[in-house]
Amino acid sequence: MNSRSIVALVALAIAAQPGLAAEIGRVKRSTGIATIERGKAKVPTAPGTQLQTGDVLVTGKDGQIALTFIDDTRFAVGPNSRVALSQFAYDRTRQTGSFLTDVNRGSVAVVSGQIAKSGRDAMKVRTPTALLGVRGTRFIVEAGK
């Protein structure tokens, strides 16, 4: 690849950032039955799959999805889960933002990143029965019926 096309790619990557469908994170690994619901579409999960705000991570009996976010937050979504990335905003330069995850069903292990550090309860996790303000750093949330 020549340097001109790299410059073009870089310009594209920068231009794409403020867009509505901006990348907020990536799938690093997925096992078993695991899909991303994006509106009406079902996106298969594979290492490198890009995540967007509003995506819902859904796993089956033996499913697990590992992902990282652009603020360095990390998730492992467990089996029989339904986890929605409901709100996500992050300013890379200032390292501040806000993040709301809905754990509707199942389990998710979390290591929080820059957003949780950037302000009190800037990162929240909601379950059917509770709202959590994340102050750091490693925890598991389980949601039953």
Partner 1 sequence: MRALLPIAAMALLGGCATNSLVLLPSEDGGHGAVAVLDGKGGETVVSQPNSRTRLAGRPTTAAYQVKPAEQALLDGLPPKPAQFILYFKEGTTDLTPESQPRLEELLAEVRRRPGVEAQVTGYTDTLGSDDDNDRLSQRRAEEVLEVLAAQGIDTGLLTAVGRGERSLLVKTGDGVREPANRRVEVIVR
Residues that bind partner 1 (CB under 8 A): 1, 3, 6-7, 9-10, 13-14, 26-29, 46-49, 64, 66-68, 70, 72, 74-76, 78-80, 92, 107-109, 111-112, 121, 124, 127-145
By beta-carbon proximity to partner 1, the closer residue of 35 and 64 is 64
C-alpha span between 15 and 135 (Å, rounded): 32
By beta-carbon proximity to partner 1, the closer residue of 38 and 74 is 74
Min separation Cβ 31 and partner 1, Å = 8
By beta-carbon proximity to partner 1, the closer residue of 40 and 90 is 90
C-alpha span between 93 and 90 (Å, rounded): 9
Q: Strand pairing of 96-111 and 74-77?
A: antiparallel
Largest CA distance in the chain: 55
C-alpha span between 44 and 50 (Å, rounded): 11
Min separation Cβ 46 and partner 1, Å = 8
